[in-house]
Amino acid sequence: MWPVWLLLGATGATALFFGHVENYSLLTAGTLWTLALSLEAAADPRRPLWPAALAFGLTFATHLSAAWLAAVVPVTWLVRVLKARGGGWPSRVERAGAALEAIGSAMAACLPIALVVLGMLAFGIGLGGFSASGFGGGDGRLFVPLFAIETPFERFTMFSAAHLAAFGNELLLVAPVGVILALTGWLGRRRDGRRTDSGTWVLLAALGTVVYAFTFNPDMMVGDPTLGVLNEWDLFAFEAVPITLLGVWWLRTAFDPGEERDALVLSAAATSFVHTAGFLLLNAGVRL
């Protein structure tokens, strides 16, 4: 596990844990635990699925941006079902057990959300102001416009060069090494020419968060052009987790264990640490 903690601990998202006032740090931590527990449950059928579902529920109860994670637990459940019979369709008894596991996991995921709702009602907060129209900020629009800029809150269209450059800047800010590993790590092969587990669910999670962050449209994007991508990097910092985790997974499955892989991990971690240290010092207002 040391490569995982080395690389994930040195992403740009680490800045969220240095006195950041928003709850995006909890969103990032919850993303990590949800994916890690899902990976364990998918790789080892003896491990229960409900901890991953509970981690998702807690994360979603912390911040609604965790909605993109909702597909991770069902995909993990499906992987477990297919593995039960070596990729074939399970028997009636196995299907019954899988159904019970699905129900239990759904209950575990819903429990924290239900507690939050009950807590709001108990303290008289109420859900009256909670509606879809409240999302999207000042202009009530959730996504980057496809073809034309129509409000003062929008800065570029979906597939414009400016948007692609800004989003690339976000990725390099929060996960420079993770992006490189995720894009190139799958090219590696073991000496016998094969790979081990493909980690498809990790790939899906990484792709899901990239699509989510690319299409979402926060109003603060016009606040301060010097901040770069969408100008709300902290909201999207959690994407460093699945992207870097995917890169680490490629390292695990595409290279033989040994000095060569260890050297690659240490080099990647050192590069990421230098990048993140500079980002932390910048946010702390330190001038060298």
Distance CA 126, CA 278 (A): 43
**Highest mean pLDDT of the ranges 48-62, 116-130, 152-166:** 48-62
pLDDT above 70 coverage of the chain, percent: 78
* Residue range of the domain that includes 18: 2-280
Would you state the pLDDT for residue 228?
44
Asked if the structure places residue 287 within a domain, the reply is: no
**220 contact partners, CB below 8 Å, separation of at least 6:** 137, 230, 231, 232
**Residue 263, in any domain of the structure:** yes
Q: What is the dihedral of CA 56, 61, 62, 68, to 10 degrees?
A: 50
- The helix/strand/coil state of 143 is strand
Over residues 161-188, the pLDDT tens digits come to 888 888 888 888 889 888 988 888 766 6
Question: In the predicted model, what is the mean pLDDT of residues 269-287?
Answer: 82
Read off the pLDDT of residues 30-73 as tens digits, 9 standing for 90 and up: 999 999 899 888 888 889 999 999 999 999 998 888 888 888 88
Q: What is the pLDDT of residue 229?
A: 44
The distance from CA 266 to its chain's CA centroid, rounded to whole angstroms, is: 23
The Cα 247–Cα 3 span in angstroms is 10
Backbone angles phi and psi of 121, in degrees to 5: -65, -40
**Which stretches does DSSP call E strand in the chain?**
none
For residue 147, pLDDT beyond 50: yes
The predicted model scores a pTM of 0.82
Q: How far is CA 240 from CA 29, 48, 151, 281, in A?
A: 11, 26, 30, 19
Q: Which of 16-25, 105-114, 184-193, 202-211 has the highest mean pLDDT?
A: 105-114
Distances in whole angstroms, Cα of residue 251 to Cα of each of 16, 186, 189, 266, 274 = 26, 8, 10, 12, 21
Tokens 């290279």, located at residue = 255
Which of 111-115, 131-135, 236-240 is predicted least confidently?
A: 131-135
From residue 142, give the alpha-carbon distance in Å to each of 78, 136, 208, 215: 30, 4, 16, 8
Q: Answer yes or no: is 272 within a domain.
A: yes
Is residue 38 in some structural domain? yes
3 state DSSP class of 179: helix
286 within a domain of the structure (yes/no): no
- Mean pLDDT of all residues in 131-154: 75
Tell me the pLDDT band of 195, cut-offs 50, 70 and 90: low
Band (135; pLDDT cuts 50, 70, 90) = low
Give a yes or no: residue 285 inside a domain: no
| Average confidence score pLDDT of the chain | 80
Is there a domain that residue 73 lies in? yes
Residue from 194, 177, 191, 186 nearest 249 by CA: 186
> Based on the structure, what is the number of domains in the chain?
1
- Give the residue with greater pLDDT, 90 vs 46: 46
288 located within any domain: no
Helix 200-215 with 24-43: angle, nearest 10 deg? 160
- pLDDT (mean) for 72-92: 75
8-state DSSP, 265: H
pLDDT: which is higher, 128 or 96: 96
